[in-house]
Amino acid sequence: MLDAIRSLFAAPRTSERESSAPPDVDPVHVAACSLLLEIAYADGVFSPEERAHLEQVLERHFSLPLTSGHRLIELAEKERRGSIDHFQFTRVINERYDIGQKMVLAEVMWGLVLADGQIAEHEHYLTRKIANLLELEPGYLSAAKARAAGQS
């Protein structure tokens, strides 16, 4: 009985949290896309330029065709809305990405911020916060921003 009560207050195990994604969807893709959507919405608007940039990223970095990319965006949007913080997403990425993959993700985040031609203060703050949760040093983030700006 006591164990049943404790289980009500315990944090869900990783497998329980990740089970909301269909089995054919990689949880790291959902986590990364959810974080990218957080950044896209940071200024209050998910612009057409940001959407186009996100779709290109999903195709290029995750090798997803457009229809699968749209499905991932829908799933990630649902996960993002149901989350209470960014840790559930950064935890998945920290478990599965090496430093090089995290750097690419940081560059993608900055590319998304720069996609609409302006950097809102909250976009800048959120990108730095997520990079910190991903255990990226400030120098790595600056390099990622410079590379993303060079591609714009």
Kindly list the domain boundaries of the chain, sorted by start residue.
26-151
Does CATH number 1.10.3680.10 belong to domain 26-151?
A: yes
Q: How far apart are CA 55 and CA 65, in angstroms?
A: 9
Q: How far apart are CA 133 and CA 129, in angstroms?
A: 6
47-102 confidence digits (pLDDT tens) = 999 999 999 999 998 888 989 999 999 999 999 999 989 999 999 999 999 999 99
Helix (H, G, I), strand (E, B) or coil at 25: coil
Q: Is the pLDDT score of 41 beyond 80?
A: yes
Q: Which residue's structure tokens are 């599965």? A: 96
* Averaged pLDDT of the chain: 84
Q: What is the pTM of this model?
A: 0.81
Take residue 91 and report the two structure tokens written for it. 């935890």
96-109 confidence digits (pLDDT tens) = 999 999 999 999 99
